Structure 1
Amino acid sequence: MSEQLTFATPGKDAIEPYLPSTTGGPTPADQKPFVTLTFATSLDSSLSLAPGVRTRLSGPESKAMTHYLRSRHDAILVGVSTLLADDPGLNCRIEGATSQPRPIVVDPHLRWTPSDSDKVLQLSRAAQGLAPFVLTGVAPADVPRESAAVLEAHGGRFIHVDPVPSVSSDGRMRFSWPSILEVLRANGLTSVMVEGGGRIINTLLHPDAQDLIDSVIVTIAPTWLGQGGVVVSPERVQDEEGIPVPAGRLSRVKWHSFGEDVVLCGTFNR
C-alpha cells in the first residue's frame, strides 16, 4: 500500500479559491472543463536539470498539497515525454480521498507502449489509481492491437484527436487545447490538472491559450538548477511596433509557504 499523505485544513483553506467548486448542479454539456495549471519549478524557472532527467523539487508539504489538488480534479494531464522519463503513478495518495483522478496522456505519435510493469498500470491493478486515457493523432485502425489490449484490460483506452495543421519542419503532430478539452468533456471529465512537462505547459501558457486556464498554482523550490534545464517560459509577445511586451500576468495572486517551498496561486485576467 502506498504511503498516505495528509494536508492540513489551513493549507486547504488557502488554496480553496483557486479550485473547482464542489457545490452546484450538473455541469452543462457544452462547458469546458475547469483547467488548473500546476507544476513545481526552481528559482531559475526550470522543471528539471535536463530533458528526460527526473528531478525532484517539491518538499513534503508541497507534495501533499499536489496530491490534495489531485483529489479535487477529475483528471491529471501530462505529455508522453513526462510519462516516459518519470514513470509516474499519476494517482492521488491524500488521506481520505474518495476517488481517483483519470490520467490523461498526450501522445500524438504513440511513443508509449503500455506494459504491465508501468507504474500507472500497476496502481490501477492495485485499485490505487486509474489507467490512462491516451490522446493520439494515430488513426484507430493503426493503433497496435497489443497496446490497446493492455490498456483496455486496465480500464484505459486510446482516444483519437484530430491534429492541427502544422507549418513546422519537425513533422510533429500537435493538438489544439480546445480540441483536448472538448475530448475530456465528452468523456465526462469536468476538471483537469495540467502537470507537465515543459512543452505541454509552455503551449498552455501561450497567449492564445491563456484564456482557457482557470487557475495557476506553482510550487517554487529554493534552488537553482542551472543552465540547460527544461524551462517554463511562454513564447515572446511583441506589440504592433515589434517591441517585446509581457507574455502574461496573473491577478488575484496569493503566496503561501509550505515547508521550505513557496506556492503561488493566481488567475489570468479575463
Structure 2
Amino acid sequence: MAATPSPPVFLNRVYGLAGNLDTQSFYTGDGQTRRSSLVSPDAGRPYVTLTFAQSLDAKIAGTGGQQLALSGKESMLMTHWMRTLHDGILVGIGTAINDNPQLNIDFPHRYHLPRPIILDTHLRLPIDCKLFNNYKAGVGRRPWVIASASSVDGDESRASRKSSLEAAGARIVEVSFLGAEVRHRNCIDTVIVTVAPNLVGKDGIGYGSNLPSDTLPAMRHVETVLFGIDAVVALRMH
C-alpha cells in the first residue's frame, strides 16, 4: 500500500491551526462524534467552508450541468485533506445526481470521514448512487438527506421513495423551510476556490452573474498557492 501523503501546511495557515493536521483527523466511526478542529465564531452554527473548482472563465459545470474534471491530482489531494477537518460535506441534489460524487476521502480510515449531506427537497437521490455503496462497503459515512416536510406530489409516491432511501441507508431529516428563500449573510467562514487553467466556453454553467451588488459579502484574501497547475485561492469572511 502506498504511503499516505503529508497534509499541506497551506491548510494550517488558512485555518489558523497549530501542529500537524495528521494528528487532528482521526476517524471515530459513523455513529460517533468528535470535537471538530474548526470552531465557528458563531456558537449557534458549525464552522462552514464554501469550496468548489472552476475554470478560468468561471464555469463550474459543462453543458446542461454535465460534470467537469477540473481539479488536478495535487489540488484534489489538498481537498481531501481539507475534508478531514470537517464533520460533513453538503451538496444539492443536482450535484448528487449529475456528478454521483463519493464525498469521502482517499486515505486509510484512521482519518476523519465527513458526513455526506444532500439537500433533496423531493427525495430524488438514487438508491444506487456511490454514497450508499460507500456506506455499505464501510468507506463512507451514512448519508443524511435533508427533505421538505411538506409534499407536492402524492403521499404514497413520496412515502415509497422515503422508504427506499431509508432501506438503502439514508437518514431522512425533514424540515419545513426547503423551497423558500433563505438568506443568512454570516453562514460562511472561509472560501477556498480551485482555479483550473482551462476554458469551458459559453455553454458551460457559471455562477455569480446575477448576484445583486448590495448583497455581496466582504472577503479578505488569505493566500493563493499553486497545487500542480491549479491555483487555489483562500478567502476569509470574518
Describe how 1:216-231 pairs up with structure 2 within 5 A: 216-231=191-206
Structure 2 Cα separation of the partners of residues 4 and 80 of structure 1: 34
Aligned to 1:199: none
Query: Where does the alignment leave 5 or more consecutive residues of structure 2 unmatched?
Result: 22-34
Change (3 A) 1:109 1:156: closer
CA drift at 1:66: 1.1
Q: Percent identity?
A: 33
Change (3 A) 1:5 1:151: farther
CA drift at 1:118: 1.3
Residue pair 1:44, 1:226 contacting (<8 A) in 2 also = yes
CA drift at 1:39: 0.3
CA drift at 1:22: 2.0
Describe how 1:122-141 pairs up with structure 2 within 5 A: 122-139=133-150
1:74 is aligned to 2:73: no
TM-score of the aligned structures, taking structure 2 as reference length: 0.78
CA drift at 1:139: 3.4
How far does the alpha carbon of each residue in 1:41-89 deviate from its partner, in whole angstroms, 9 at most, with x for none? 1111110122330101000011011111111111100000001101111
Aligned to 1:62: 75
Aligned match for 2:132, one of 111, 117, 121: 121
What is the letter of the counterpart of residue 187 of structure 2? L
Query: Where does the alignment leave 5 or more consecutive residues of structure 1 unmatched?
Result: 165-172, 177-207, 240-245
What is the letter of the counterpart of residue 263 of structure 1? V
CA drift at 1:149: 3.6
Structure 1 Cα separation of the partners of residues 137 and 113 of structure 2: 12
How far does the alpha carbon of each residue in 1:80-129 deviate from its partner, in whole angstroms, 9 at most, with x for none? 000110111111223464332111111112232x42x2111110011000
Residue pair 1:4, 1:93 contacting (<8 A) in 2 also = no
Change (3 A) 1:266 1:212: same
The count of residues paired between Structure 1 and Structure 2 equals: 219
Aligned to 1:158: 172
1:22 is aligned to 2:33: no
Structure 1 Cα separation of the partners of residues 229 and 92 of structure 2: 28
Aligned to 1:147: 161
Structure 2 Cα separation of the partners of residues 76 and 247 of structure 1: 23
Structure 1 Cα separation of the partners of residues 148 and 10 of structure 2: 40
Higher relative contact order (CA 8 A, sep 6+): 1
Aligned to 2:31: none
Aligned to 2:32: none
